[in-house]
Amino acid sequence: MLNKKTPRSISIDSRIVQLGDLFIPIKGPNYDGHDFMDEARKKGADVLDVEDGLKALQELAAKHRSRFKIPIIGVTGSVGKTTTKDMVTSILSQEMPTLKNEENLNNEIGVPLTLLKLTEKHKAAVIEMAMQRLGEIAQLAKIVRPTISVVTNVGEAHLEFLKTKENVAKAKAEIFKYQRKADYAVINADDESYENLRSKIKNKKSKIMTFGIIEKADVGPKDLEAIKLPVPGQHNIYNALAAVAVAKILKVKPTSIKKGLEAFRPSSRRMEVIIRKDGVKIIN
């Protein structure tokens, strides 16, 4: 039985569960959360005693997300999705409280856990969505229901499971599956899979915002003039352009875009630039 009061937090880890939390037992390749339900109860947590804890977690997250009529930005892509997520968050946070998934909480467990942290104070959320196989982004998109869906690019990551870049594009395009006509797709106009991605947008009335450096696009290098990006590399220019596209859709002020990008700091081990006392520059 569950207490009627709202849980303090939702956890799948009995080691960190606390009084007032809701513990959901999930089966993994090397563990079974059901084995730790008694431990969670001893710590004062309520336990959701269900056979399929993952399904329950995802259903709870989807229901919770449906309560919020705010911009939800979904971000996927072969590379750059974490940096783009963090750049979008840095920009939006200049004008509104914004939730994002931390570090690598971007899969079938991490995404619902992140969505369950949404509160009334949040005015936007940026959710990174990762996959290895076909169908996984679609599953996440069903839970997240992004109002703005960003695909940074289509590369050769995941070929171990998907075999061809066409399948990678198909998998990434699953983020568009639940779009409505008021929603946006944000696509890299320079990517060789651009037309392929565009053709896979389910709702043909959905709006499209493009970004790029080479091909004609809605957002391009001119939009980064007078902005000093704190991270090097052309790939980060693409990430920044994708973030600017999201900001423009949401009518974020140019001053906030500039401030947000210049204040951006990458997640750990992603192009961290460290200057040692002896002047040596380390790019992690």
> What tens digit of pLDDT does each residue of 112-127 get?
999 999 999 999 999 9
> What tens digit of pLDDT does each residue of 53-102 get?
999 999 999 999 999 999 999 999 999 999 999 999 999 999 999 999 99
Strand partners, 125: 72, 99
Q: CA 261 to CA 236: how far, in whole Å?
A: 11
Q: Is the pLDDT of residue 281 over 60?
A: no
Q: CA 224 to CA 228: how far, in whole Å?
A: 8
- Residue 92 dihedral angles phi and psi, to the nearest 5°: -65, -35
**pTM over the 0.85 mark:** yes
CA angle 225, 244, 231 (to 5 degrees): 65
What is the reported pLDDT for 160? 83
Q: CA 88 to CA 51: how far, in whole Å?
A: 37
Q: CA 48 to CA 1: how far, in whole Å?
A: 8
> What tens digit of pLDDT does each residue of 143-199 get?
999 999 999 999 988 788 889 999 999 999 999 999 999 999 999 999 999 999 999
The residues, ordered by sequence, that sit 6+ positions from 131 with a Cβ below 8 Å of its Cβ are 76, 137, 140, 158, 171, 172, 174
How far are the Cα atoms of 99, 127, 155 from residue 116, in angstroms, in the given order? 11, 12, 31
Q: What is the dihedral of CA 164, 167, 173, 175, to 10 degrees?
A: -110
What is the reported pLDDT for 267? 77
Domains of the chain: 10-51 (3.40.1390.10), 68-263 (3.40.1190.10)
| Arithmetic mean of pLDDT over the chain | 93
